[in-house]
Every structure is written in C-alpha cells, then in structure tokens.
Amino acid sequence: MYTDNLIGFGLAFASSAFIGSSFIIKKKGLQRAGASGPRASSGGYGYLLQPLWWVGMITMIVGELANFIAYTYAPAVLVTPLGALSIIVSAVLAHFLLKEKLRKMGILGCLLCIVGSTVIVLHAPSEHSISSVEEIWDLATQPAFLLYTASAITVVLVLVLYCEPRYGQTNIMVFIGICSIIGSLTVMSIKAIGIAIKITLEGSSQVAHFQTWVFAMIAITCITTQLNYLNKALDTFNTAVVSPIYYAMFTSLTIFASAIMFKDWSGQSAGNIVSVLCGFITVLSGTMVLHSTREPDPPPSTEYSSLSPQISWLIHANGEIWKQKDNDELHPEFIGIIQQDHFK
C-alpha cells in the first residue's frame, strides 16, 4: 500500500506541473482568440481555431491522464490536494508570461501550499482494496452519496440558469463554483473507471459490466461541462486568482465526496486525520494568501472614456470660438451638454 501511495504521489506531482502550465498556455490562446472575435466568456468559440489553445489542451490532457492513473493507486485525499502544486506553477508562469505580478505575499502563499501538501502526503490514508466494479457501484448508490449527487446537481442548475446570466461576468465564484462541484463528481467517476481498468489489467475484465460504461458516460459529461466553464473563468478573470480559488473549492468538495463514497477515513487514527486536515487548512491558507494579492481588474472602457484633459476642443459658444487647453475647465455650455446625457 505504501508503494501504491508513492506511485500515486509521483503521478500527481507530474500532473500538477502539466496542468499548471496548461492554464497559462490556454489563457494565451484565449487572449489571441478574443482579439479577433467573440471572447469565450461571451459565448464565443473562436479559441477552437487557435493552435496555442490546443497546445494547452493537450498539455492539460497529459496532466489529467497522469492524474487519472494516480487515482487508481492512491486515495483522493492524497492525490487531490497535490493540485496545489499546479497553483504554484501557474502563478509563477503567469508572472513571467502574462505579466500578472506575483508579489511577496503570493510567494508566501506558494510556500504555504508546499508545506501543507507535504503534511498531507506524510499522513495520507492507504487505499482500500476493491475487487470489482460492482463494489464501486454499491458505494456510488449508497443513500449518503446519492444525496450528495442530487444536491450538487441542484446547485449547479441554479448557478447555470439563474446566477450565470446575472453575475457570471462580475462574480468569480459563479464559473468556478460550477467547475468545482462538477469536478468532484468527475473525480469519483474517473476513479471508478481507473479502478475498473486496473482490475481488468490484472486479469479480471470489467468491460462487460454496464456499471463501467455508466461511469464512463458520467465522466465524459462532467469533463465537458468542467472545461467549458473553466474556459469562461480563465477568459474573464485573472489567472493567478482563478487557479487558487478553483483549487480550494475543487479540492474541498472532492475530499468531501470521496469521504462519503469511498470512506477514506475509515480505520484511520485520530492523529493522521487531524494531520491531514491541518495540512489541508495550510494549503487553503496559502490559496487565500494568493487570492489577497490579486490586482484590481481594469475598468471597462466606454465610448467616451478616451476624452481626457490632453485633448483640445473647439467649441462654438455665444458666437465665439473657444479652445480648451490641457488644464482648463470645461465651458459652462459644454458642461450643460454633458449633464443632459448628450453622449447616450
């Protein structure tokens, strides 16, 4: 079991490096697509024609594949929190490639994430042995997990149908909330598929079991939804903020879902449980520190925002030609025009 956890740790580490890089590459692709057409946050899909976005997509797929395999060897409580390393990768790369400044407090946040992840790795529980996909199906259909699934779907529908049209462009929690909730269900289905593949490779085929294909369909649906709203979040908000908040929500919900479905804490000592929780809180603290370093978003431009004191105006007032200089106040009649909403 210790060897399995070590393999899972190595795969999760590699996954974080790929996924953290993919955030930046995809963001660059989204920026190029937005410069020549509708942005993803406005419902545009021009980024699908951007080679750079596809490079980022392939990088993410490689990372997710490594993550997928990691879940077959180690419990979610070990693999998922290691996603904090992707935050560090994306924050550092955003600093150099996207000019999104990583301040000293941001560096402190990165260190907290590393410390918390280390504590989690040292005290993570071992994976429980599962011999067939039917066992996973029984875990997925227990009343407690069905209640979690129903609650998750209800919240997602509220966010998509009510909150997104009203607050999607101004509140970062809308897009990230959808990604995180759906992501917790994605991990559960991905873990089920991974275990089924692992059992199949060991000589007991799980392909003929309908449960395997149900989990596969759930995984495809959840991943598609996740990627769509993650693109919207990346295109709308600062990458250095999207990554840590997404990580915090996604990890919290995934650990919670895994504890319900796979009973990760069963048989663990109180000391190990407390240590893992403390490590996770440390990681969350790091993400919040990173969040506090967010630079304010630039104000949206308007049709007349380019009017500035540096522009000179020739205004005909009372039969006279009057020129406004850089530091002159506006002529009273021109002020009156503005007050009458002339530009609307």
pLDDT in tens, 22-79: 988 988 888 888 787 777 666 677 778 888 889 999 998 999 889 889 988 888 888 8
At 248, is the pLDDT very low, low, confident or very high (cuts 50, 70, 90)? confident
In the predicted structure, residue 301 carries a pLDDT above the cut 80: no
Whether residue 225 contacts residue 157, with contact meaning beta carbons closer than 8 Å, is answered with: no
Ordered by start, the domain boundaries in the chain are: 1-100, 104-296
CA distance 109 to 17: 17
Whether residue 125 contacts residue 272, with contact meaning beta carbons closer than 8 Å, is answered with: yes
Range of weakest confidence among 27-36, 204-213, 310-319:
310-319
Whether residue 29 contacts residue 50, with contact meaning beta carbons closer than 8 Å, is answered with: yes
* Model pLDDT, residue 295: 59
Closest CA to 34 of 232, 306, 302, 223: 232
In the predicted structure, residue 85 carries a pLDDT above the cut 70: yes
Give burial (CB, 10 Å; 0-12/13-18/19+) of 101: exposed
* Model pLDDT, residue 36: 79
Q: What angle do CA 190, 250, 256 make, to 5 degrees?
A: 80
* Model pLDDT, residue 58: 94
* Model pLDDT, residue 294: 57
Range of weakest confidence among 44-53, 133-142, 166-175:
44-53
Whether residue 112 contacts residue 278, with contact meaning beta carbons closer than 8 Å, is answered with: no
